[in-house]
Each structure stands twice: as structure tokens, then as C-alpha cells.
Structure 1
Amino acid sequence: MDWDKLRIFHAVAEAGSFTHAGESLNLSQSAVSRQIHSLEDSLGVSLFHRHARGLILTEQGEVLNRNVREIFAKLSMTEAMISESKERAKGPLKITTTVAFGSTWLTPHMKEFLDLYPEIELSVVLLDTELDLSMRAADCAIRFTPPRQPDLIQRKLKRVRSRIYASPDYLSEHGIPSEPADLDRHHLIVYGEDAPQPTRTINWLLWQDREGEPRHPVLKVNNIYGIYRAVVSGLGVAALPSYMARMTRNLVHVLPELEGPETMAYFVYPEELRHSKRIAVLRDFLVRKIAEDDQG
């Protein structure tokens, strides 16, 4: 098969139209259409269903695109590895992590990292769902559950526990809890139904020192950063992860004798990037910054 036609096919499959693919490829719509027709003729199958709202891959088109996507991902990785200097780290590097950790801990440290390695072209993708690193949706990740794929390398970064916080305004109005039983009369903000951990683990405040039914929260939010913002607003009390410590200076740490269940943060990347200089310098930087924070 003609690699140029496959490149154009992949662009059309991702864009969903000849026009949008042509814009990304700097080709006319008619030129893109001709290349796709030529590829379909050479294969003897239709690759797209055409309709008024755009293009949809046929079953054969899905099979071809799945394989073409994997091939181009490996080519991109190979190109980056070949072009990467052995003496210094440079080139594109995409890291993904959760919205909360990325917003509150990772991105504030990226200026220092890029000052050290200005030739790295860094991208940060914040999602509470996991990208497929084996398909090069990202080069590396910081995750809070052990990776399930066998071809991924993992490095433990940090043990994370949650602690209880409230805003000064909230505490002046509702009082400071002095023992766990006092939580019964406070407004608790917890994680929603889409919790990334078992509900009883991540929402441990609802069960802390309580028998039978859990406490009733005033608000459920499906994102830790959203919980943090609700606490800052003075709505109530919540358990926030230890990596948010830098952001909690405008909050009060209450019931300091209580800590939530422990989770582990992992730095994860594919086996084929084991010798990547970019991965190595980012890994070492993260390990160093987390150690400094733990000592501070």
C-alpha cells in the first residue's frame, strides 16, 4: 500500500471529512478525495460511509485505521528517538495526569523544569481517565493506581494521604471540630458517584468513627480540584490529598490526628522509551521535587 495514501486516509479518518483533512494536510478537498478513492480502488473495498454530515468509517475502514494509527505512532516514536540527542534532552514530550494533581502540583513546577531543559517541547494533558500509553496517546503519565498493562514501566513517586480542611470563614460560623464525632454536625463535601477509588475509601469522612449509616454530605463533586474550590468558598469541610498542601495555606487543617487511607502515585511510561533522555530527566526532576516538598 502507498504510504502517502495511508497518511491521507488516517488524516481523513481522524478529521471525519475531506475538507478538514485537507486543511491539516495543506491539500485541496478534491485532491484528498481522489487519493481516498484511489486507495479504495486498490484495496477493492469502501473505507467510508458518505453522508450529509460527514464521513464514518466502514468496518474495513476501522480495521485499517486501527493498524495505521499504531504504525504512525511507532514511526513518530522512532523519529523522536533517532532525533533525540544523547548529550541533552530535547524534542516533544507529552505527560498526562489527573486534573487535580496536574492543576495543583504539576503545572506550577513546569517553569523550573523548562528552565532546566528549554529544548524540550512539553505538553500536559489533564484527564481523570487514563490515556493509552502503548498507543502513544502520551509519552508518560503520573497515575494514582498501579498500571495494568504489562509493557509499562512504573516508578513509585509519592505516598498520598488525605487530611481534613476547612476555610477560616466556615469555621468562624460553624465552629472548629475537636473530635471525630463533631463531624456529624458539619457540612461535608465528598467525591461523587464516579469515584476513582472505592467510595468508602475516598469518602472516608462519611464513615470516620461512625457506626451504621454514613454521614450525609452537603455536596458531592466528581473532581478533587472542584472539592478544593468548594472548601475555599466556605461551603464546608473536606478531605484533601497531601499534594495540595501548597494550596491549602488559605485553609485550616482540622482534626490533625486523622488521615485518610494511603494511595501511591506512580510515574509510568512504555518499555520502548526506557532509554529516552527526555523521560529520564522528567522522572528525575519529579522525584527530586517531591522529595523537597516532603521535607518542607
Structure 2
Amino acid sequence: MDWDKLRIFHAVADAGSLTHAGDKLNLSQPAVSRQIRALEESLNATLFHRHARGLILTEQGELLFDATSAMSRRLDTASARIRDSEEEVFGELRVTTTYGFGTLWLAPRLAKLYEKYPNLRVDLMLEERVLDLPMREADVAIRMKEPSQADLVRKRLMSVRIQLYASNSYIERFGAPQDISDISAHRLVCQSPSSAQVSASATLVQHLMTHNPSSLLTVNNYAGVLQGAINDLGIGVLPDYVTQGFPNLVQVLPDISSAEVPVYLAYPEELRHSKRIATFRDFVQEEIIAYRKKLKELATP
């Protein structure tokens, strides 16, 4: 089977348009159309349904697109491994993690990584959905639970807890709760029950709600909860990793905490020897060591 025709077919199927695929491949629309017709003739199959809004894959086209997609992922993996240099770190590294951890802990620290490795390009994908690492939806993941996917290298980085925080100005105005029953006199700022979150966080919020907070603000991510807390809206239910950069936040009811939430770094087995992966892994571990040291210093009178 002609590899060049398969490459063009994959681009057309991905774009859903001969014109858009041609723009991507630097080919004219007629040239792309000729290659698709030639491929269909060689396979004796119709690969696309053509209509005014674009192209839709036929059943045979779907089968071929699945195959070319798998080929594309494998080629990307091979290319990445070939490009990895023992001398320097460069190229794209696709990192996925949760919105909260990526926004509030990882992203603020990436300047140090770029300063050391200016030729590295990090594509940071923040979402609660667990991306499929073996299928190369991302190169490396940081998740709030141990990954269950097969063929992954896993490393436990640290543990976090969900706790209660309020701003100094909020406490000056409304006072700090001395007991969990005092929650009834305060507004609670937390993730909404319908948002994706670790079970430990949801369990803690459910427990707090049984004490009837006087008011409630729910947000679908921790970045919004943090903004509510630092802007004096109420007592925020937040992971402990967010507070180091916000000295105006004070922990309240320190005995009230979620269960321990493990944080794991994972990447595909086939990238075990990737220089980019090793560099990122070492960077994150170094930052966690520094983070823990800073927490100890803050806790020491």
C-alpha cells in the first residue's frame, strides 16, 4: 500500500475536508482528490461519503483511519525517541494534569524549567479526564490517584490533603471558627458536587454541609475556590499545595482534613529512556523537595 497516499488519506480524514487537508499538506485540492481516488481504486472501496458540508468516513474508511491513526501515534513515538538527545533537552513534551494542580502548583514553577532548558516546549493539558498515555494522548501525567492503565511507569510524588482556609481580612471581620459546628455562621466556598474531583474532597464537603453553613459558593475548579477565599468570600475548601504562594490565607479548623490524596507521575513504558521525560520527572521531584522544605520552615516557630 502506498505510504504517501495513506498519509494524505489520514490528513483528509482528520480534517474532514480536501481543501483543509491540502492546506496542511501544501498540496492543491485537485491533487489531494486524485490521491484519494487512486487509493479508493487500489482498495476497491469507497472511503468517504461526500456532501456539501464536507466528508464523512464510510465504514471502510473508519477501519483505515483507525489503522493510520495507530501508525501516526507509533511514528510520533519513534520520532520523539529518535530526537531525544543525550546532550540536550529539546522538542515538545505533552503534560497532562488536573486543572487545580496544573494551574496552582505546576504552572507557576515552569519558569525554572524553561530557564534551564530553553529549547523544551511544554504543552500543558489541564483537564480532569484521564488521558490515555499508552495511546499517546499525552507523554506524561500527574494525577491525584495511581494510574490504572497498563504499560506505564509510575512514581508516587507526594500526598496532599484538602483543608479549610480563609483570608486574614475575612477572619478579622467574621472571626475564625473554633469548632466545626461554627461553620453554621460562615459562608463555605468549595467545589460544586457535580464537578470532577477526588473522592476525598467530595467526602469532606459532604461532611461540612451537614453543619449547615450560613451561605454557600460553589465553583467547578480549585482556581475559582481559591479566588473566592483570597477575596474574602468565605472559608475555602482547598488542597494544601495551593497555600504556600498566598501568605494572606490562614488555615482554620486544622483538625478538619480530608483523607490523604496520593499524587502520581506516570508515563508510557516505551518512553522510559526519553531524555525529555527524565528531565521533567527530575524537575518535578526537585520542586517537591523544595516545596516540602519551605513548608517545614513555615511550620517552625
Fold shared by both chains (TM-score > 0.5): yes
SS at match of 2:134: helix
Q: What is the deviation of 1:266? A: 0.7
> Secondary structure of 1:278's partner?
helix
8 Å contact 1:170–1:235 — kept in the other structure?
Answer: yes
Counterpart of 1:239, as a letter, is: V
Q: Which residue of 1 aligns with 2:99?
A: 99
Corresponding residue to 2:281 among 270, 276, 283: 283
**Equivalent runs, 1:1-296 vs 2, <5 Å:** 1-192=1-192, 193-198=194-199, 201-208=201-208, 213=210, 215=212, 218-296=216-294
Between 165-174 and 65-74, the greater mean CA deviation after superposition: 165-174
CA deviation profile, 1:156-188 (whole Å, cap 9, x unmatched)? 111011221123343344322111111122111
CA contact (8 A) 1:104 1:244 kept: yes
The CA RMSD measured in Å over matched residues stands at: 1.9
**Percent of counterpart pairs with the same letter?**
45
Contact 1:186 1:236 (8 Å CA) reproduced: yes
Q: TM-score, normalised by structure 2?
A: 0.90
Structure 2, unpaired ranges of 5+: 295-301
Aligned length: 292
Shift of 1:110: 1.2
Residue identity in the other structure for 2:126 = L
TM superposition shift of 1:201: 4.3
Q: Distance in 1 between matches of 2:239 and 2:45?
A: 53
How far does the alpha carbon of each residue in 1:108-154 deviate from its partner, in whole angstroms, 9 at most, with x for none? 11111122222322221112212221121211111112111111111
Distance 2:4 2:275 in 1: 31
- Measured against aligned partners, the alpha-carbon deviations of 1:177-228 in whole angstroms (never above 9, x if no partner) come to 1111111221112222133333x743514415x8xx5646612222111221
SS at match of 1:133: coil
Distance in 2 (alpha carbons) for counterparts of 1:83 and 1:195: 36
What is the CA-CA distance between 1:269 and the residue it aligns to? Answer: 0.2
State the AA in 1 paired with 2:251.
H
CA distance in 1, matches of 2:230, 2:33: 54
Stretches (4+) displaced over 6 A: none
| C-alpha contact 1:195 1:202 (8 A) present in aligned 2 | no
Counterparts of 2:243 and 2:230, CA distance in 1: 13
Q: In the TM superposition, what is the alpha-carbon distance from 1:260 to its structure 2 partner? A: 1.6
SS at structure 2 position matched to 1:253: strand
Which 10-residue stretch deviates more, 16-25 or 251-260? Answer: 251-260
- TM-score (norm: length of structure 1): 0.91
> Alpha carbons of 1:284 and 1:53: their partners in 2 closer, same or farther (altered >3 Å)?
same
Cα distance, 1:116–1:142 mapped onto 2, change above 3 Å? same
Q: 1: CA distance between counterparts of 2:94 and 2:67?
A: 22
2:175 counterpart letter in structure 1: G
Conserved 8 A contact 2:98-2:128: yes
Deviations 1:235-272 (Å, cap 9, x if unpaired)? 22121112112333232221223222111111110000
Name the SS for the 1:295 alignment partner.
helix
> Gaps spanning 5+ residues in structure 1: where?
none
Whether the 8 Å CA contact 2:144–2:198 is kept in 1: the answer is no
SS at match of 2:246: helix
